[in-house]
Amino acid sequence: MLETYKEKDYSLNQLENQIQRLRKELIHVGMEKGFNNSTTLQISQQLDYFIFQYQQFKSSKFHYTINL
């Protein structure tokens, strides 16, 4: 279920996979526990972070890895 994110390099493909996984998890947990539940909110914050990182990555002129 919810995992702690340690420092890791992410490629664009890995970011896309993380975003898709977190979206599915957010919907599942939100429907099960409610959208104001602390776990749901934590997943939502993680999803926001990965979407932001993805957008930063895509808009950069250089391909690089993102360190968490």
For the chain, which residues make up each domain, given as ranges? 11-57
Q: What are the C-alpha distances in Å from 12 to residues 28, 31, 43, 48, 64?
A: 25, 29, 20, 16, 9
Q: What are the C-alpha distances in Å from 33 to residues 24, 48, 68?
A: 14, 19, 28
The DSSP code for 63 is -
d(CA 26, CA 53): 18
pLDDT in tens for each of the 68 residues of the chain? 444 444 355 678 889 999 999 999 999 999 999 999 999 999 999 999 999 988 888 777 555 555 55
